[in-house]
Amino acid sequence: MTATMPITRTVLPDHRDSMWIGGAWTRPSVDERFTVVDPTTEEVIGSVPAGSAMDAGRAVHAAAAAFPGWSAQPLQARLRPLRKLLELLERDADGFADLITQEVGMPRQLSRGVQVEFALGVLRSYLELVPNHPFEQRIGGSLVIREPIGVVGCITPWNVPLLLVVQKLVPALAAGCTVVLKPSEVTPLNTFRLADLLTECDLPPGVVNLVSGSGPVVGSAIASHPDVAMVSLTGSARAGRHVSALAADSVKRVHLELGGKNANIVLDDAPLDRAVGAGVRQACFNSGQACLAWSRILVQRSRYAEAVEIAAATADSLRVGDPFDAGVDLGPVVSAVARGRIRDYILLGEQEGARLVTGGAAPPPGLDRGFFVRPTVFAGVHNDMRIAREEIFGPVVVLIPYQDEADAVRIANDSEYGLHGAVWSASEERALAVARRIRTGRVDVNGAPFNLLAPFGGYKQSGNGRELGSWGLESFCEVKSIQLGESDVQVTVGGTT
């Protein structure tokens, strides 16, 4: 593990004093602000208003007023602003990557190649998918219509901010919904930059509204507002439970994409170097700050010692340092709070009796400034330990031995979560059979790439509902059945028969 020293920053400070409400930059009702800190330098790089419940209510009112006109627009009219947004985001892709690196701490090449490129990929996928979606179907004597659900509150996290905003915003607008967007107060600047682009897209006033603020204040106001038809939240299980409770009074739809404690099952015939090495690197992606991280690696007991050595060597090879340095694999975690939580879990693992193989709670050598955490590997882990059950959200990997295939599946499923997972085997057929038995929303076989057209979401306390592809579009639709009389089945796509 090689540490590098910080280099020159490339993003100018960005201080915002207004929020985008009703088609205009609007001053908040209160004077409080959130500062945004560069996790590498610990310097303030911007600030945004800490909005109030009143500000959230103004945004919901604007979205509700805009909904009848926007939802009545022909499909191609709704897609036109999204095509413009794609053009503008492609133009400014490098600037967004720089900003995300400075806000989140992700290495610059990954900010550009994953955070920004995946956001562009989601936008392109919906522009291709939506015109062919069956918004109307003739089924026997019924006309089945998919209509926009109404005003949608989108609450997004700090770890993959641009992608997760686009992942909600684009299908909601394409379906005909209007949106109130609340980004994380930790990394809000890229969402404000996206709002700058949206002001150039000729959207009617109130179709998209941006309100910055805390979850307990602005998020709660959105979730409980009677004029909000749906809340789509990506965040922690705690936030998901809170939003669900608030939404229950008005029985609004709640779509939750929450945490994960994902199992990476390495079967006894798998190529060990590839499976374990890829597993450690994936678990340390974005410094482990990803709900889909394979933070539990399950290895057959007879190959366990070798797997531990591979995991340690892989973690030690990862370069930690300034995320603008092209040679860096891991930047800092997002904040001092996040760093403290991760270090506490590392110390807890040692207290629980797990064996610290590499890494640890001490800062990486030469990186006393910035919120850096060393890639950490634990062996001798049992699945009932807290470090094996709780989402650490940092570059911490635990290796758990299993007896046989059935035992591996049992351990993988012995979790409150069910978001993601992986299976490795020399036989794809065998890996697929095991993947079918894992209670998670998505499973990768032998390192298969992420598919932006396939549904993403979780079982159990990882949430409910699905994003991406046609499933993501359906999330923002209500279904109406109109009885007309007997007829053969016909399908209408894109508004024309």
- Mean pLDDT for 95-114 is 97
Taking the alpha carbons of 273, 279, 282, 288 in that order, is the dihedral positive or negative? negative
Are 490 and 131 in contact by the 8 Å Cβ rule? The answer is: no
Q: Residue 479 above 90 pLDDT?
A: yes
- Mean pLDDT for 432-439 is 98
Q: What is the pLDDT of residues 452-469, one digit of tens each?
A: 999 999 999 999 999 999
- What kind of fold does domain 263-445 have according to CATH? Aldehyde Dehydrogenase; Chain A, domain 2 (3.40.309)
Q: What is the pLDDT of residues 267-314, one digit of tens each?
A: 999 999 999 999 999 999 999 999 999 999 999 999 999 999 999 999
Q: Residue 449 above 70 pLDDT?
A: yes
What are the tokens at 437?
């038995």
Q: Indicate the pLDDT class of residue 6, thresholds 50, 70 and 90.
A: very low
What are the tokens at 379?
């062996």
DSSP states along 321-369:
S-TTSTT-SB---S-HHHHHHHHHHHHHHHHTT-EEEE--SSPPTT--S
User: What CATH class has 14-258+462-480?
Assistant: alpha beta
Are 164 and 156 in contact by the 8 Å Cβ rule? The answer is: yes
Q: Residue 223 above 70 pLDDT?
A: yes
Percentage helix, strand, coil, to 5, in the chain?
40, 20, 40
Q: Residue 130 above 50 pLDDT?
A: yes
One of 177, 201, 291, 477 is an active-site residue; which one? 291
Which among 127, 124, 95, 129 is positioned nearest to 112, based on CA atoms?
Answer: 95
pLDDT over 70 for what percent of the chain?
95
Q: Indicate the pLDDT class of residue 13, thresholds 50, 70 and 90.
A: confident
Instruction: Mark whether 201 is an active-site residue.
Output: no
Instruction: Mark whether 390 is an active-site residue.
Output: no
Q: Indicate the pLDDT class of residue 204, thresholds 50, 70 and 90.
A: very high
What are the tokens at 340?
């403290």
Q: Indicate the pLDDT class of residue 493, thresholds 50, 70 and 90.
A: low
For residues 121 and 207, what is the distance between their CA atoms, to the nearest angstrom? 23
One of 103, 136, 257, 391 is an active-site residue; which one? 257
Could you check whether 14-258+462-480 and 263-445 share the same CATH topology?
A: no
Q: Residue 179 above 90 pLDDT?
A: yes
Q: What is the pLDDT of residues 118-127, one digit of tens each?
A: 999 999 999 9
Q: What is the pLDDT of residues 312-357, one digit of tens each?
A: 999 999 999 999 999 999 999 999 999 999 999 999 999 999 999 9
Q: Indicate the pLDDT class of residue 492, thresholds 50, 70 and 90.
A: low
For residues 371 and 47, what is the distance between their CA atoms, to the nearest angstrom? 19
Pairing of strands 417-418, 459-460: antiparallel
- Domain range annotation of the chain: 14-258+462-480, 263-445
Q: Residue 417 above 60 pLDDT?
A: yes
For residues 397 and 414, what is the distance between their CA atoms, to the nearest angstrom? 17
